[in-house]
Amino acid sequence: MNCDDFIRHRPHAYKEQGEALDSRTIHVDSGQEASGPWIVMAETTTYRVSGRVVSERAPVPAGWRVTIGHRSMTVKNSNGAFEICGLPPGEYGIRADGQIDGRRMIGDAKIRVEKEDLNDVRIAPEPSASIRARIETEDGASVDSSAMDILTLADSFPHDSLPQPRREPDGSFLIDEIYTGDYRFVLSPLPSGSYLKSARLGEQDVIDTPVRIRGGELIDSLVFTVSGKASIVTGVVQDEGGANLSGATVILQPDPKHGEPDIHTCFRTADQGGSFTCDNLAPGKYRAAAWRGSLDEKARNDAGSKGVPLELSEGQHVSIVLHVLDQ
């Protein structure tokens, strides 16, 4: 089917009172009746968008898909040509998604459909990068890494991707479908009494400093080093009268903070006796604080300015008493 088979003028639901119809929610209780918004149909002109998926590794293999909104088509021509019809005026995201030599490739573009067909739209997909990682223990310490997973952190993930590291039979990890962007890599959960001492990509430590990954790279040098000599802080939270306070929120955060998110921060909820334990702390300076209620930005700022200062050495075990901060 080509665009000549589509009716150019067709009914189309418009936005009522500036709000998209699909964003309306109607709640009906048992035994009640409710009326929804009026859906008004108006005739609109639709248009065609055509172009090519372009790749340095042409010809483009069959099976690629091009998607605009809820419409998609399979690119069957080796020159990557595509054509999608019946689009009313508006702004759209357009995506090409496929594989070359077993490596997933994605390309995104923004287009605006106004009063005419769009021709010669070009989408240049980028190949995903692949990173192989391994976990080492410092000085051969006995640390159980079997439950650890790699977390990939970024301000935003290109192409809406969410890298999913998978463990290989030899215990290493493979991170696929990661595209050009700045990333950090950490381990979680860590066994009690251990901490992540370093995460190195080549010569760069990437615990607190994002590293630039480029699409298509094959990286075999991400190494996590785990130490079995974590600092441990145990304590009790007390109210203004000195009584142990259950359910209080406790935070130990580096002083100053290392980054956002700060993976070295420990959050806990005091138990029924007001007790808490943070047992995966890296050595360094911290602020410890407790308060009633849930965590918010004010509480974190108060912890940084009013919290009890601590300086922890590797393997040290400290016991403290925290009094709740004023809200």
Got the DSSP string for 156-201? S-GGG-----EE-TTS-EEEEEE-SEEEEEEEESPPTT-EEEEEEE
Pick out the chain residues at pLDDT < 70. Answer: 1-24, 36-38, 57-59, 327
> What per-residue confidence (pLDDT) applies to 145?
80
- Quote the DSSP letter at residue 283: S
> Rounded to whole angstroms, how far apart are CA atoms 2 and 89?
19
pLDDT confidence of residue 36: 64
CA-to-CA distance for 298 and 295, rounded, in angstroms?
Answer: 8
Fold of 3-13+40-125: Immunoglobulin-like (2.60.40)
Token couple for 28 = 């009906």
Give SS3 for 105.
strand
pLDDT of residue 34: 72
Give alpha helix (H) positions in the chain.
Answer: 297-306
How many angstroms separate the CA atoms of 160 and 274, rounded? 42
User: Tokens 């696929």 identify what position?
Assistant: 176
Q: 29-54 burial, b for 16+ CB within 10 Å, e for fewer?
A: eeeeeeeeeeeeeeeeebbbbbbbbe
| Angle (CA) 227 228 231, round 5° | 95
Q: Evaluate whether 3-13+40-125 and 231-323 have a shared fold.
A: yes
Classify 129-227 by CATH class: mainly beta
pLDDT confidence of residue 323: 93
Choosing among 3.30.70.20, 3.30.1360.120, 2.60.40.10, 3.40.50.2300, the CATH entry for 231-323 is 2.60.40.10
Domain ranges of the chain: 3-13+40-125, 129-227, 231-323
Nearest of 64, 71, 45 to residue 107 by alpha carbon? 64
Distance CA 254, CA 263 (A): 10
Chain position carrying tokens 């050009």:
180
The β-bridge relationship of strands 317-323 and 231-238 is: parallel
Please tell me the predicted confidence (pLDDT) of residue 279.
95
Residue 16 has a pLDDT of 37
> How far is it, in rounded angstroms, from Cα 73 to Cα 67?
7
- Return the pLDDT at 23: 53
Number of Cβ atoms within 10 Å of the Cβ of 55: 21
CA distances for 235 relative to 44, 238, 240, 280, angstroms: 68, 10, 16, 15
CA 269 to chain centre: 25
Give the contacts of 322 (CB within 8 A, at least 6 positions apart): 235, 236, 237, 238, 248, 250, 288, 289, 290, 308
